[in-house]
Structure 1
C-alpha cells in the first residue's frame, strides 16, 4: 500500500494549526523536489486554518466542505482533514497533487464520498458581508482612538504559493 513507504521511513505527515490561512481551510505542504527525495526524506505537513472552525457559527448561510453540507464545526474540520489526506496520498504515490484534476477527485470520492474540492465556510469576507453588509470597494468610516477614519475596503492579498491547497 501507499503507506508502506511512510512506515519504512518511520515518517508520518506533520500536523499544524494556523490562524494565517484565511481563504483555504487546509493546506498540505510538500517539498518541491519530492520526486528527487528518498521516501525517508519526504516530510509532508497538513496545515489547518483554525479561524474557519472557531467562526463557524458567525454566518447563517449553508456551510459545506467537499460538496457535503455540514452541521457543525467538527464535521467541517473532519471533511477538510479528509481532503488534505487525499493530497498526502497523491504526493506519496505520484509526487504531485492537484485537487482540480480527475485523479484527485476520484480518490476523494472513492475514499470519503467527496463530490467537490472546495468549501463554503466563513471567511473574513463572508462574515463582513453577512454580518455587517460590507464588501470590497465599500466606503467606510469609523472612530479609532478618538479619531474619525474614512476609507475604502480593499482586498489584502498575501503572497504565497499553491501547494496542495484545498
Structure 2
C-alpha cells in the first residue's frame, strides 16, 4: 500500500510517501510544499492545492493521513493553518482519497511507543523505521513521514480486527 502522510501548514506543508507491505516501510519520496511568503492567503491556498494535486497524480497513493491541528497560543496562525488543512482535505477528497486524521499524540504513540515523545525521538525513530541515513529534512517532512507510518500501523491493526 502506498500511503501519503501530510503535516499541514500554509507556508510549509510536509509530505511523505511510503510503501507499506504490512511488515516494512519503504520511503518513496518526502519533502515540503512551500507557498510564497507575503502572498495573499487565497493565492497561497491555490498554490497549495495545485501542488498537492500534482503530488497525488505523481505518486498515486492508495491511502492518505493528515495530522490533526494543535495550537496553543497564536489563534491567527491556527486559523490560517486550519484553512490550509481544509484545502488539503478537499484536494485529497477530489482525488478519490479518504483521508484519516491522527492527533500528534497518536502519531508519537505509533512511531515511538510513547504519546508524549519529544520531537528528536520522533525524528530519529522515523529515520530508523525507514532505513534512512539521516533524519529527513525539513522537520515538516519528517513529521509527515511519521503520520504515514502511523497510518500504516493503524491500517494493519484494522485488518487484524476484521479477521
Query: Scaled by the length of structure 1, what TM-score is found?
Result: 0.25
More helix by percentage: 2
Higher Cα Rg, which structure: 1
